[in-house]
Amino acid sequence: MSRFLSVDIGGTHTDLIYIDEAAGRVSVAKVPTTPENQAEGLFNGTQELGIALADVDLVIHGTTVATNAVIERKGARCGLITTEGFRDVLELRRRDRPHTFGLTGTFQPLIERSFRREVKERVSAEGEILHAVDPSQVREVAEGLLADGAEVLVICFMNAYANPGNERAAYEAVKEFWPNDYIAVSSQILPAIREFERTSTTVVSGYVQPLLSRYFRRLTDRLQQYGYKRDLLIVQSNGGLMSAEVAPRLAANTILSGPAGGATAAAAIAHEMGLKDVVSADVGGTSLDICLIRGGQPSLTQQKALEFGIPLATPMLDIDAVGAGGGSLAWIDKTGILQIGPESAGSDPGPACYGRGTQPTITDAALVTGLLDPETAIGQKHGRQMNPELSRKAIDEKVGGPLKLDTLAAAEAILTVGGHKVSGHLRRRLVERGHDPRAFSLVAFGGAGPLFANRILRQVGLARAIIPYFPGITSALGCLLGQLRHDFVRTVNYDLAALDPASLREVYEAYEREGHTLLAEEGVEDKDVQVRLGADMAYRGQTHTIQVAFPEDMPLTREAIRNAFDAAYRERFSVLLDRSGVILVNVRLTVSSAHRPPRLSELIEAPDSASEVKPTKTQPVFFDGQWHEASVFDRFALPRGASVAGPAILSQPDATTFVEPGFRAVVHDSLNIIVEAAS
């Protein structure tokens, strides 16, 4: 394969990158997202790229369909069958509340109470079936849910992770008459301890499965109509890929599909530049997505709250999403304080400068202060001309007037508050995990990332900022860089001192066979499969576990596993509890394909390094309370090694980079740009 098309659909724009390795061609497009039918944005982008889908070897897609369905409560109607007495697990949660210091709040579970039904069954924590489930009762309950309008059936029994026998019997009882394949069984989706999290994850998977199935089916049909005959690959929350045919069965794994692509790209960029510790900041039109990358690997988490009371406990990249992007709305709260986001103008109506909305955004403030050129900014190709006068009017009415500030002061206040919101979240992410920001570099991308990169660099105290070659298309690039991958987890609760290595190997080998089967469905040969083992472990008596990655070819002996645990625990907490026993709580296994994705720096023909660096023009920029005359450069005209001193603007179709006074931008050999203090 040599011709790849990668697509990332965001809340504001749909980003596409097309790579033809044989021809050495790289093309990108950024088109408005079409919320009513996201696939339309994809096809609009292919038309702008001028490519025929019949000539494409592989299409890779990052999607927000599942995420939006959960957040907007637009998933399928589900019915839950659970153990008698556990009907309200979803609402009892962890007895937490939306606001730590507040006594009010609301919570809406994904399945309303009338669609949650109980059956008599019981399995002990040790896996003993204390009360076998009655298939006739399960059928009766399921038939009632079907008659009431349930499209999806979720089966989640107490302690099913220890023994799935009752869940399997229930599944066999209902699959014969349930009218579709939408049956989510917890022991198949997450055979792991913690009742609430397991139930929530299974419900989320069932809730989005029909939507994903229909969306991928329609998209695949449309692609075939345009001549594309190969598999469609979908980005998972763990940064890996899976086929569109497999994706509905593993629906919960697509929840953070889009942001995962950005983190994957940031890790690849850092590796190419020889940087081990970086933090990625994807500042798009709607949100900011942050991910720590240490030792070249994006941080992973085993649980993420999609929103209050809805945890998802599957392996995924540890990405924090915050409502702070270029389209975030500026508003005054009831105390008279300027706020930015989390609401966004989105692609429709968009920022006030486009003449559809009246609420000012960060984009409007950047336009008024001269950071954006209305002639070259994003949206020009799609008839969306920026009008600075509309931005000034919106800023004066909504911000300047209430705060008694002139237009420029109000616009700079919007940028300052927005910048501090982004920087504050990023700094907290680093410091809370015990990291020194000075040891990290920033990879800033997304349509608004390069605009804030210098500000974040200065306010957080990071070593340097990296601006990718196509910053506005970086998440789409990351979709292309992923591998076909599947993660497995199962609770075993083995006491390490009494561990039988043969039993542990049997568990891993069973999942390895299942992983090989899945990858074979997706066209991967056995010789190209990579397997990585790990576990969730803790000292005896501890509630929470830490994730331990086993070194490659590590023998599964008690001593080797203990050494791996000690190393992980010491890195996390700097001290060991030597006198305590160790419990291996969950086994984890990852299977992935092995391939080397193309590098942009090897395909792009950059200007000769001897080329003279000249600005295309100068542009007045209001910054730090005064006007500056900034030099404007064509980003793509800068050769390797070129150095540009601030104040400067680096312009390109997918993003704008601002270099502040006292800083400089240098083009790295990889064609990415390094922004650092001039001294």
pLDDT above 70 coverage of the chain, percent = 97
643-645 and 617-623 strand pairing: unpaired
Lowest mean pLDDT across 380-384, 434-438, 472-476: 380-384
- The mean pLDDT of the chain is 89
Task: Report the pLDDT value the prediction gives residue 377, as an integer from 0 to 100.
Answer: 66
pLDDT score, position 432? 86
Of 326-330, 468-472, 553-557, the poorest mean pLDDT is in: 326-330
What Cα–Cα distance (Å) separates residue 128 from each residue in 137, 166, 503, 646? Answer: 21, 11, 18, 69
Task: Look at residue 478 and tell me whether its pLDDT is greater than 90.
Answer: no
How far apart are the C-alpha atoms of 666 and 465, rounded to whole Å? Answer: 11
Q: Taking 60 as the threshold, does the pLDDT of residue 465 lie above it? A: yes
DSSP state of 526: G
Do 391 and 398 form a contact (C-beta atoms < 8 A)?
Answer: no
Mean pLDDT value across residues 453-466: 95
The answer to whether residue 524 scores a pLDDT higher than 90 is no
Q: What is the crossing angle of helices 474-481 and 257-272, to 10°?
A: 80
Q: What is the pLDDT of residue 10?
A: 76
Residue with more model confidence, 593 or 204:
204
The first and second tokens of residue 448, run together, are 């608004």
Residue 332 pLDDT grade (very low, low, confident, very high; cuts 50, 70, 90): very high
Residue 337, helix vs strand vs coil = coil
Q: What is the pTM of this model?
A: 0.85
Q: Which of 144-153, 183-192, 322-331 has the lowest mean pLDDT?
A: 322-331
Q: Does position 378 have pLDDT exceeding 90, yes or no? A: no
Answer with the residue of higher pLDDT: 320 or 600: 320
For residues 588 and 315, is the Cβ–Cβ distance under 8 A?
Answer: yes
Work out the average pLDDT over 432-452: 91
